[in-house]
Amino acid sequence: MCLIIKKPAGRRICNAFLTNAWQHNCDGWGTFFLEAGQPVWAKGMRLVDLLRHNDALPESGEVFLHLRKATYGHVTQDMAHPYVVNDWGDGRRMLLMHNGSIDHLAPEDPSLSDTAMLARLLRDMLSGLSADQAAALVRSEGFARLTAPLLQGSMVVLFDHRGARRLGREWLAVQNDQWHAGMAGIEVSNTRTWLRDAAQAA
């Protein structure tokens, strides 16, 4: 299972936290955030690059960070999250991070992942829409209801020029007794992939 971390504005993600989580999710990393109203994203494969990138992330803004644990697909930078769902060619694009497994989207091609198939499916669903129309659609209650059976308990974060839209599972907040106070309150997609004591994991 992967891990998504939501860094709020004015906070930092502790490098020791990332190093610990990397031990369980070391198949690639990625981030996205807004800069001047446009999504900025990056991804890589090495912990040293992740920590350097984390140090350079803007403290003033909200940032989402994904650590991959491969269940389907090869371990390559292409399979690391985020995925580009759509690109309108004007700097506006929709990106996707996913935590969980969608077994019924398991690809026939072993080099691809279930998340790659989800990105393709969403690309087809949003085909023909403008960036603003797509942004409005994914934030609608109807879209959440339509995709709920597909996600089956996973968490998906879609990201565009309007910011983030979470679908599926709710966020969990890091508690004081789970890490040090510097990480308390920062939201994560699960606890089982980073808690030092696996017995505490949910």
Domains identified in the chain, total number: 1
Tokens of 86: 């759509």
Q: What totals of helices (H) and strands (E) does the chain contain, helices first?
A: 5, 10
| CB neighbour list of residue 82: distance below 8 Å, 6 or more residues apart | 30, 31, 32, 41, 43, 66, 95, 96, 97, 159
Question: Does 107 have pLDDT greater than 80?
Answer: no
Question: Does 198 have pLDDT greater than 70?
Answer: no
Quick one: pLDDT at residue 153? Answer: 87
Task: Quote the percentage of the chain above a pLDDT of 90.
Answer: 77
Quick one: pLDDT at residue 90? Answer: 87
Question: Does 33 have pLDDT greater than 50?
Answer: yes
User: What does DSSP say about strands 38-44 and 3-7: parallel, antiparallel, or unpaired?
Assistant: unpaired
Tell me the average pLDDT across 26-46: 96
Q: Give the amino acid at 55.
A: D
Tokens of 164: 């983030």
Q: How far is CA 144 from CA 102, 167, 202, in A?
A: 16, 6, 24
Predicted confidence band at 53 (pLDDT cuts at 50, 70, 90)?
very high
Quick one: pLDDT at residue 17? Answer: 94
Quick one: pLDDT at residue 202? Answer: 45
Please write the tens of the pLDDT for every residue from 168-191.
Answer: 999 999 998 889 888 999 999 998
Give the domain range for residue 135: 3-200
Please write the tens of the pLDDT for every residue from 110-135.
Answer: 888 999 999 999 999 999 999 999 99
Please report, for the domain that includes residue 10, its CATH number.
3.60.20
Quick one: pLDDT at residue 200? Answer: 43
**Which of 19, 26, 6 is CA-nearest to residue 52?**
19
Question: Does 201 have pLDDT greater than 50?
Answer: no
Tokens of 138: 């994914």
Predicted confidence band at 196 (pLDDT cuts at 50, 70, 90)?
low
The dihedral formed by the CA atoms of 46, 48, 49 and 54, expressed in degrees to the nearest 10: 120
Quick one: pLDDT at residue 197? Answer: 54
Residue 112 DSSP symbol: S
pTM: 0.93
| CB neighbour list of residue 194: distance below 8 Å, 6 or more residues apart | 3, 17, 20, 21, 24, 25, 188
